[in-house]
Amino acid sequence: MSKILRVLSVMLCIILVLSLSACGSKSKDTTSGNTDNNQQSQQTEDKKEENQNKGPVKLKLLTISSDESRQRIMDEYIKPNVGKVLPHVEIEYEGTANVADKMKVYNSSGDLPDVWYSGADFALPIINAGNQLDLEPYMKEDGYLEKFKIKDALYFRGKIYAISSGADAYFNPRIFYHKDIFASNNIEVPTTFDEFVEVCKKLVNAGIQPIATPGKGGWAPGFFLLQNMIMIEDPEVAQQIVDNKTDFANPVIKNAADRIVQLAKIGAFGQGAANLDYGPAKELFVQNKAAMYMMMTWELPDLEANVPDLDFFLWPKASDKFDPNKVVQYWGSPLAGYAVYSKSANLEDAIKLAEFCCEQDALFFESTGSLISFNTGNQMAELKPIQKKNVEHFENTTTRIATYHLNALDTKCATEHSNLGANLMTGDYSAEQFVEDFNKVWLENTWFD
């Protein structure tokens, strides 16, 4: 019996030892777990404190300030609303009438704004330097790409380097005019270029400046005037420039340049036309100091609001190859829009800022009745009469030719095209000289390389 008791005693001791060991282990594990949790909490608090000490994220935004629409987008849409979307971001705003020159300097320095409004005439060197971000993967990841109705219009060589509302594709150059000035001088709307010249002569003789359009820096001749003087004779030649299937020795191009010289010599553009800036050109027309205004339709909403006798007529033809009801130039380029610096210290926020700015662009142009590719989810506003007329004409065209200045010229070529185009507006620079001078530059054009 005593032997059995001894065995039982030994077994109880063993069980007691094992129980105490298990408790000790559990206590140790719990202590270890609490330590890990405390360390993690401390790290989180440290991270929060570190972020607070850093202060707001700082981004620089460079935008166009050369026209009223861009000013309104910035002052009425972007600045008042960006804090709601990016409350932790502090933005340094820079506006300029010449983004191209600014960005050339920034690109050379290697210190670029986080976001800027890109343009096809200066984007290639920035892209080639690896400084302009391909936005496609980010837009796919956050779903932003799905907001665009026409996605193909965003791509340049298979990548997305800039985003815009898509309104650019619907902008086109028009000849706006004062109906009252035409009526009081017994002038009918011209349908041929020869008739257009006679209208200009009649207005000059009446002491009225026929045409206002910005010549400074070759703006109008560079972006649309020379192209439309080509198109009114043979639209196919303008398309061939976009497709790199002709050069500027083409006789149709010489004829087009000569039409600008002809208008300049009779005083159609007024005194100092080659140095007339964007704003003053518009004011000449708005203040009834010029009978006609050659300009892109992004100015139409403001013109219709401020010019009671406003209307526009189609570009007068120079041959039967041109049907003004079927052919139109459109503005857009996939390199025009908000771009992001690929080496931004705050890349995620920079992308969000670019997307926000694009959306604000869309809301603005939608409010003016412009057609846009970006889907805001809103219903389109009722168009005013002249805007409706413009949209109906555009939608009925069958041949839409891209702006070759934005879609076929590298930076050097675009600059020379504008500068030499401005010379044509003086009337002292011949079409022959233009062709000789510019064709040399065109043949060295690297856009298609």
pLDDT at position 415 over 70: yes
Same structural domain, 164 and 174: no
- The domain in which residue 428 lies consists of 170-331+385-442
pLDDT of 369 reads: 78
Same structural domain, 341 and 321: no
Band of pLDDT at residue 9, cut at 50, 70 and 90: low
Q: What is the mean pLDDT of the chain?
A: 89
Please give the residue that has the higher pLDDT: either 48 or 316. Answer: 316
Alpha-carbon torsion angle 144, 145, 148, 152, nearest 10: 160
Tens digits of residue pLDDT in 150-173: 888 899 989 999 999 988 888 999
Whether 225 is in a domain gets the answer yes
Same structural domain, 247 and 312: yes
Same structural domain, 251 and 119: no
Same structural domain, 161 and 82: yes
Please give the residue that has the higher pLDDT: either 23 or 170. Answer: 170
Using DSSP's 3-state secondary structure scheme, residue 209 falls into: strand
Please give the average per-residue pLDDT across 15-38, as a whole number.
43
Same structural domain, 212 and 115: no
Copy the structure tokens of residue 325: 């009801």
Same structural domain, 139 and 215: no
Number of domains, the chain: 2
Tens digits of residue pLDDT in 27-64: 434 444 444 444 444 543 444 444 445 579 999 999 98
Whether 63 is in a domain gets the answer yes
Kindly report the CATH number assigned to the domain that includes residue 186. 3.40.190.10
Tens digits of residue pLDDT in 375-413: 999 987 788 999 999 999 998 999 999 899 999 999 899
Same structural domain, 403 and 290: yes
Same structural domain, 355 and 423: no
Tens digits of residue pLDDT in 175-200: 999 999 999 999 999 999 999 999 99
With beta carbons less than 8 A apart as the criterion, state whether 227 and 404 touch.
yes
Please give the residue that has the higher pLDDT: either 69 or 225. Answer: 225
pLDDT at position 103 over 50: yes
Helix (H) or strand (E) segment spanning residue 89:
strand 89-96
- 62: β partners: 94, 116
Same structural domain, 94 and 122: yes
Whether 183 is in a domain gets the answer yes
Whether 375 is in a domain gets the answer no
Whether 280 is in a domain gets the answer yes
What DSSP string runs through 386-441? HHHHHHHHHHH-SEEEE-HHHHT--HHHHHHHHHHHHHHTTSSS-HHHHHHHHHHH
What percent of the chain has a predicted confidence (pLDDT) above 70? 88
Whether 36 is in a domain gets the answer no
Whether 132 is in a domain gets the answer yes
Helix (H) or strand (E) segment spanning residue 235:
helix 235-242
Same structural domain, 189 and 275: yes
Same structural domain, 247 and 277: yes
Whether 141 is in a domain gets the answer yes
pLDDT at position 339 over 90: yes
